[in-house]
Structure 1
Protein backbone atom coordinates (compact mmCIF):
# COMPACT_ATOMS: atom_id res chain seq x y z
CA UNK A 1 0.00 0.00 0.00
CA UNK A 2 1.69 3.18 -1.16
CA UNK A 3 -0.01 6.48 -0.53
CA UNK A 4 1.13 9.12 -2.99
CA UNK A 5 0.12 11.85 -0.56
CA UNK A 6 2.78 10.61 1.84
CA UNK A 7 5.38 10.06 -0.87
CA UNK A 8 5.97 13.81 -0.87
CA UNK A 9 8.33 13.07 2.02
CA UNK A 10 10.76 11.39 -0.40
CA UNK A 11 12.19 14.78 -1.31
CA UNK A 12 11.57 16.55 2.00
CA UNK A 13 14.63 18.35 3.34
CA UNK A 14 14.82 20.65 6.32
CA UNK A 15 16.94 23.72 5.74
CA UNK A 16 20.35 23.36 7.35
CA UNK A 17 21.95 26.09 9.46
CA UNK A 18 23.99 27.48 6.58
CA UNK A 19 20.96 27.74 4.28
CA UNK A 20 18.76 29.63 6.75
CA UNK A 21 18.56 33.39 6.14
CA UNK A 22 21.57 35.19 7.57
CA UNK A 23 19.63 38.44 7.98
CA UNK A 24 17.23 39.27 10.78
CA UNK A 25 13.53 38.95 9.99
CA UNK A 26 10.29 40.39 11.33
CA UNK A 27 7.59 38.27 12.95
CA UNK A 28 5.37 37.92 9.87
CA UNK A 29 8.35 36.92 7.74
CA UNK A 30 9.42 34.31 10.29
CA UNK A 31 5.96 32.77 10.50
CA UNK A 32 5.63 32.59 6.72
CA UNK A 33 9.11 31.08 6.38
CA UNK A 34 8.62 28.40 9.08
CA UNK A 35 5.18 27.44 7.77
CA UNK A 36 6.71 27.15 4.29
CA UNK A 37 9.60 25.00 5.47
CA UNK A 38 7.26 22.63 7.31
CA UNK A 39 4.35 22.61 4.85
CA UNK A 40 5.34 19.26 3.30
CA UNK A 41 4.98 17.50 6.66
CA UNK A 42 2.09 19.57 8.01
CA UNK A 43 -1.26 17.79 8.22
CA UNK A 44 -3.51 18.96 5.39
CA UNK A 45 -6.21 20.21 7.76
CA UNK A 46 -3.79 22.61 9.49
CA UNK A 47 -3.44 25.87 7.59
CA UNK A 48 -0.67 27.23 9.77
CA UNK A 49 1.50 25.10 11.98
CA UNK A 50 3.00 28.23 13.60
CA UNK A 51 1.19 31.43 14.56
CA UNK A 52 2.31 34.70 16.17
CA UNK A 53 0.63 33.77 19.45
CA UNK A 54 2.43 30.40 19.51
CA UNK A 55 5.76 32.09 18.85
CA UNK A 56 5.15 34.64 21.61
CA UNK A 57 4.18 31.82 23.97
CA UNK A 58 7.46 29.99 23.26
CA UNK A 59 9.37 33.14 24.22
CA UNK A 60 7.27 33.63 27.37
CA UNK A 61 7.79 29.99 28.36
CA UNK A 62 11.55 30.49 27.92
CA UNK A 63 11.81 27.84 25.19
CA UNK A 64 13.72 30.25 22.97
CA UNK A 65 15.39 33.64 23.26
CA UNK A 66 13.35 36.81 22.86
CA UNK A 67 13.67 38.74 19.60
CA UNK A 68 16.11 41.63 19.51
CA UNK A 69 14.40 44.89 18.56
CA UNK A 70 11.46 42.87 17.17
CA UNK A 71 13.75 40.96 14.82
CA UNK A 72 14.48 37.25 14.67
CA UNK A 73 17.83 35.69 13.77
CA UNK A 74 18.91 32.35 12.33
CA UNK A 75 19.06 31.04 15.91
CA UNK A 76 15.39 31.90 16.41
CA UNK A 77 14.48 30.07 13.20
CA UNK A 78 16.25 26.96 14.46
CA UNK A 79 14.36 27.02 17.74
CA UNK A 80 11.07 27.51 15.93
CA UNK A 81 11.62 24.67 13.47
CA UNK A 82 12.61 22.25 16.24
CA UNK A 83 9.87 23.35 18.65
CA UNK A 84 7.19 23.29 15.96
CA UNK A 85 8.11 19.74 14.96
CA UNK A 86 8.48 18.50 18.52
CA UNK A 87 5.19 19.98 19.72
CA UNK A 88 3.36 17.56 17.46
CA UNK A 89 4.22 14.91 20.06
CA UNK A 90 5.67 16.52 23.18
CA UNK A 91 4.57 19.04 25.79
CA UNK A 92 6.34 22.39 25.97
CA UNK A 93 7.91 21.31 29.27
CA UNK A 94 9.33 18.17 27.65
CA UNK A 95 10.61 20.19 24.70
CA UNK A 96 12.34 22.61 27.05
CA UNK A 97 14.05 19.71 28.83
CA UNK A 98 15.27 18.20 25.57
CA UNK A 99 16.56 21.53 24.24
CA UNK A 100 18.26 22.41 27.52
CA UNK A 101 20.03 19.06 27.64
CA UNK A 102 21.01 19.02 23.97
CA UNK A 103 22.34 22.58 23.95
CA UNK A 104 24.33 22.04 27.15
CA UNK A 105 26.61 19.69 25.21
CA UNK A 106 26.90 21.20 21.74
CA UNK A 107 26.48 24.35 19.72
CA UNK A 108 23.07 25.21 18.36
CA UNK A 109 24.42 24.78 14.81
CA UNK A 110 25.75 21.26 15.52
CA UNK A 111 22.56 20.29 17.35
CA UNK A 112 20.30 21.62 14.62
CA UNK A 113 22.10 20.09 11.65
CA UNK A 114 22.19 16.70 13.43
CA UNK A 115 18.50 17.08 14.33
CA UNK A 116 17.67 17.73 10.65
CA UNK A 117 19.60 14.65 9.54
CA UNK A 118 17.88 12.44 12.12
CA UNK A 119 14.41 13.87 11.44
CA UNK A 120 14.71 13.30 7.70
CA UNK A 121 16.03 9.78 8.26
CA UNK A 122 13.10 9.02 10.58
CA UNK A 123 10.54 10.42 8.12
CA UNK A 124 11.98 8.34 5.30
CA UNK A 125 12.03 5.23 7.51
CA UNK A 126 8.40 5.67 8.48
CA UNK A 127 7.34 6.43 4.95
CA UNK A 128 8.99 3.29 3.64
CA UNK A 129 8.17 1.11 6.64
CA UNK A 130 7.03 -2.31 5.59
CA UNK A 131 7.10 -5.55 7.46
CA UNK A 132 6.45 -8.97 6.07
CA UNK A 133 3.15 -8.94 7.92
CA UNK A 134 2.02 -5.65 6.41
CA UNK A 135 3.18 -6.69 2.96
CA UNK A 136 1.12 -9.87 3.22
CA UNK A 137 -1.82 -7.82 4.45
CA UNK A 138 -1.56 -5.39 1.53
CA UNK A 139 -5.16 -6.19 0.70
CA UNK A 140 -6.04 -4.63 4.07
CA UNK A 141 -5.33 -0.89 3.78
CA UNK A 142 -5.38 -0.42 7.55
CA UNK A 143 -2.51 -2.84 8.24
CA UNK A 144 0.36 -0.41 7.70
CA UNK A 145 -1.50 2.41 9.45
CA UNK A 146 -2.09 0.25 12.53
CA UNK A 147 1.58 -0.71 12.66
CA UNK A 148 2.76 2.88 12.30
CA UNK A 149 0.29 4.22 14.87
CA UNK A 150 1.38 1.66 17.43
CA UNK A 151 5.04 2.38 16.63
CA UNK A 152 4.36 6.12 17.08
CA UNK A 153 2.71 5.51 20.44
CA UNK A 154 5.58 3.31 21.59
CA UNK A 155 8.19 5.81 20.40
CA UNK A 156 6.36 8.65 22.12
CA UNK A 157 5.99 6.75 25.40
CA UNK A 158 9.64 5.66 25.37
CA UNK A 159 10.84 9.18 24.56
CA UNK A 160 8.69 10.67 27.32
CA UNK A 161 10.20 8.19 29.79
CA UNK A 162 13.72 9.17 28.70
CA UNK A 163 12.84 12.83 29.20
CA UNK A 164 11.38 12.10 32.65
CA UNK A 165 14.54 10.17 33.57
CA UNK A 166 16.65 13.10 32.34
CA UNK A 167 14.69 15.58 34.45
CA UNK A 168 14.96 13.24 37.43
CA UNK A 169 18.76 13.12 37.16
CA UNK A 170 19.03 16.91 37.01
CA UNK A 171 17.31 17.46 40.33
Structure 2
Protein backbone atom coordinates (compact mmCIF):
# COMPACT_ATOMS: atom_id res chain seq x y z
CA UNK A 1 0.00 0.00 0.00
CA UNK A 2 1.36 3.42 -0.87
CA UNK A 3 1.71 5.74 2.08
CA UNK A 4 2.01 9.51 2.22
CA UNK A 5 5.13 11.14 3.69
CA UNK A 6 3.63 10.92 7.19
CA UNK A 7 3.05 7.13 6.91
CA UNK A 8 -0.70 7.55 6.52
CA UNK A 9 -2.46 5.61 3.76
CA UNK A 10 -2.84 6.87 0.20
CA UNK A 11 -5.61 5.51 -2.00
CA UNK A 12 -5.33 5.17 -5.81
CA UNK A 13 -7.24 7.44 -8.16
CA UNK A 14 -9.60 5.92 -10.75
CA UNK A 15 -6.94 6.26 -13.48
CA UNK A 16 -4.49 4.32 -11.28
CA UNK A 17 -6.82 1.32 -11.02
CA UNK A 18 -6.37 -1.49 -13.58
CA UNK A 19 -8.25 -0.71 -16.81
CA UNK A 20 -8.72 -4.40 -17.64
CA UNK A 21 -11.22 -6.84 -16.15
CA UNK A 22 -10.19 -8.76 -13.05
CA UNK A 23 -11.09 -12.07 -11.47
CA UNK A 24 -12.43 -11.93 -7.92
CA UNK A 25 -9.12 -13.09 -6.39
CA UNK A 26 -7.29 -10.27 -8.18
CA UNK A 27 -9.88 -7.72 -7.08
CA UNK A 28 -9.53 -8.90 -3.47
CA UNK A 29 -5.72 -8.80 -3.58
CA UNK A 30 -5.71 -5.21 -4.85
CA UNK A 31 -8.49 -4.10 -2.49
CA UNK A 32 -6.80 -5.67 0.52
CA UNK A 33 -3.45 -4.10 -0.35
CA UNK A 34 -5.08 -0.72 0.32
CA UNK A 35 -7.72 -1.53 2.92
CA UNK A 36 -6.14 -4.15 5.19
CA UNK A 37 -3.39 -1.87 6.59
CA UNK A 38 -6.12 0.56 7.71
CA UNK A 39 -8.82 -1.75 9.05
CA UNK A 40 -6.54 -4.64 10.01
CA UNK A 41 -8.76 -7.23 8.37
CA UNK A 42 -9.18 -8.60 4.87
CA UNK A 43 -12.18 -8.25 2.63
CA UNK A 44 -13.21 -11.82 1.75
CA UNK A 45 -15.06 -13.47 -1.13
CA UNK A 46 -18.06 -13.98 1.15
CA UNK A 47 -18.12 -10.29 2.06
CA UNK A 48 -17.95 -9.29 -1.61
CA UNK A 49 -20.79 -11.65 -2.53
CA UNK A 50 -22.85 -10.12 0.30
CA UNK A 51 -22.12 -6.61 -1.02
CA UNK A 52 -23.26 -7.68 -4.50
CA UNK A 53 -26.36 -9.45 -3.19
CA UNK A 54 -27.35 -6.42 -1.08
CA UNK A 55 -26.84 -4.04 -4.02
CA UNK A 56 -24.10 -2.09 -2.23
CA UNK A 57 -21.76 -2.77 -5.14
CA UNK A 58 -23.16 -3.54 -8.59
CA UNK A 59 -22.89 -7.24 -9.40
CA UNK A 60 -20.32 -8.19 -12.05
CA UNK A 61 -21.18 -9.44 -15.51
CA UNK A 62 -19.91 -12.99 -16.17
CA UNK A 63 -17.60 -12.86 -13.12
CA UNK A 64 -15.58 -10.04 -14.68
CA UNK A 65 -14.77 -7.20 -12.32
CA UNK A 66 -14.14 -3.71 -13.68
CA UNK A 67 -12.78 -0.50 -12.13
CA UNK A 68 -16.18 0.32 -10.64
CA UNK A 69 -16.16 -2.95 -8.69
CA UNK A 70 -12.63 -2.36 -7.40
CA UNK A 71 -13.41 1.25 -6.49
CA UNK A 72 -16.58 0.13 -4.72
CA UNK A 73 -14.71 -2.54 -2.77
CA UNK A 74 -12.11 0.00 -1.63
CA UNK A 75 -14.75 2.51 -0.52
CA UNK A 76 -16.81 -0.12 1.31
CA UNK A 77 -13.65 -1.48 2.93
CA UNK A 78 -12.66 1.95 4.22
CA UNK A 79 -16.11 2.71 5.64
CA UNK A 80 -17.36 -0.70 6.80
CA UNK A 81 -16.01 -0.43 10.34
CA UNK A 82 -17.58 3.00 10.83
CA UNK A 83 -20.93 2.84 9.04
CA UNK A 84 -23.52 0.10 8.63
CA UNK A 85 -23.72 -1.48 5.18
CA UNK A 86 -27.14 0.11 4.78
CA UNK A 87 -25.66 3.56 5.46
CA UNK A 88 -22.81 2.92 3.02
CA UNK A 89 -25.29 1.80 0.34
CA UNK A 90 -27.45 4.90 0.90
CA UNK A 91 -24.40 7.18 0.75
CA UNK A 92 -23.14 5.59 -2.45
CA UNK A 93 -26.59 5.82 -4.03
CA UNK A 94 -26.77 9.55 -3.20
CA UNK A 95 -23.32 10.22 -4.65
CA UNK A 96 -23.90 8.18 -7.80
CA UNK A 97 -27.22 9.93 -8.45
CA UNK A 98 -25.29 13.14 -9.16
CA UNK A 99 -22.02 11.90 -10.63
CA UNK A 100 -20.33 9.05 -12.49
CA UNK A 101 -18.60 6.26 -10.56
CA UNK A 102 -15.21 7.60 -11.72
CA UNK A 103 -15.89 11.17 -10.61
CA UNK A 104 -17.50 10.12 -7.32
CA UNK A 105 -14.61 7.78 -6.52
CA UNK A 106 -11.96 10.37 -7.43
CA UNK A 107 -13.67 13.00 -5.27
CA UNK A 108 -13.58 10.56 -2.35
CA UNK A 109 -9.93 9.61 -2.96
CA UNK A 110 -8.75 13.21 -3.37
CA UNK A 111 -10.45 14.19 -0.13
CA UNK A 112 -9.14 11.11 1.69
CA UNK A 113 -5.58 11.56 0.44
CA UNK A 114 -5.60 15.28 1.20
CA UNK A 115 -6.75 14.73 4.77
CA UNK A 116 -4.43 11.76 5.23
CA UNK A 117 -1.41 13.73 4.00
CA UNK A 118 -1.69 16.45 6.63
CA UNK A 119 1.61 16.61 8.48
CA UNK A 120 0.09 16.47 11.94
CA UNK A 121 -3.25 16.31 13.61
CA UNK A 122 -3.53 19.22 15.97
CA UNK A 123 -6.15 19.71 18.60
CA UNK A 124 -7.57 23.21 18.21
CA UNK A 125 -8.33 25.17 21.35
CA UNK A 126 -11.51 23.98 22.98
CA UNK A 127 -13.73 26.93 23.87
CA UNK A 128 -14.45 27.43 27.56
CA UNK A 129 -12.30 24.48 28.63
CA UNK A 130 -8.83 24.89 30.04
CA UNK A 131 -6.96 21.71 29.10
CA UNK A 132 -3.32 20.99 28.40
CA UNK A 133 -2.83 19.51 24.90
CA UNK A 134 -1.32 16.16 25.93
CA UNK A 135 -1.19 13.03 23.80
CA UNK A 136 -4.07 11.63 25.86
CA UNK A 137 -6.15 14.73 25.13
CA UNK A 138 -5.34 14.41 21.40
CA UNK A 139 -6.58 10.80 21.47
CA UNK A 140 -9.78 11.84 23.25
CA UNK A 141 -10.29 14.79 20.92
CA UNK A 142 -9.77 12.61 17.83
CA UNK A 143 -12.19 9.99 19.13
CA UNK A 144 -14.82 12.63 19.92
CA UNK A 145 -14.39 14.25 16.49
CA UNK A 146 -14.72 10.82 14.84
CA UNK A 147 -18.02 10.19 16.61
CA UNK A 148 -19.33 13.67 15.81
CA UNK A 149 -18.35 13.45 12.13
CA UNK A 150 -19.90 9.96 11.94
CA UNK A 151 -23.09 11.32 13.53
CA UNK A 152 -23.16 14.28 11.12
CA UNK A 153 -22.64 12.00 8.09
CA UNK A 154 -25.47 9.71 9.25
CA UNK A 155 -27.83 12.67 9.68
CA UNK A 156 -26.95 14.02 6.23
CA UNK A 157 -27.56 10.60 4.66
CA UNK A 158 -30.93 10.31 6.42
CA UNK A 159 -31.89 13.87 5.46
CA UNK A 160 -31.08 13.28 1.79
CA UNK A 161 -32.85 9.93 1.80
CA UNK A 162 -36.06 11.66 2.90
CA UNK A 163 -36.00 14.11 -0.03
- TM-score of the two chains, using structure 1 as the length reference: 0.82
From 102, 114, 120, the equivalent of 1:121 is 114
Aligned pair count reads 155
The yes-or-no answer on 1:38 pairing with 2:32 is no
Q: Does 1:83 align with 2:76?
A: yes
Give the structure with the higher percent helix: 1
Q: What is the Cα deviation at residue 67 of structure 1? A: 1.6
In structure 2, the partner of 1:137 is 133
CA distance in 2, matches of 1:25, 1:74: 9
The equivalent of 1:27 in structure 2 is: 24
1:119, 1:135 → 2: CA distance?
29
Q: What is the aligned-residue RMSD (CA, Å)?
A: 2.1
Unaligned runs of 5+ in 1: 1-6
Alpha carbons of structure 1 residues 135 and 127: separation in structure 2 relative to 1, 3 Å: farther
2:159 counterpart of 1:165:
yes
Distance 1:78 1:135, change over 3 A: farther
Q: TM-score, normalized by length of structure 2?
A: 0.85
Query: Residues 124, 147 of structure 1: CA spacing in aligned structure 2 closer, same or farther, 3 A cutoff?
Result: farther
2:37 matched to 1:60? no
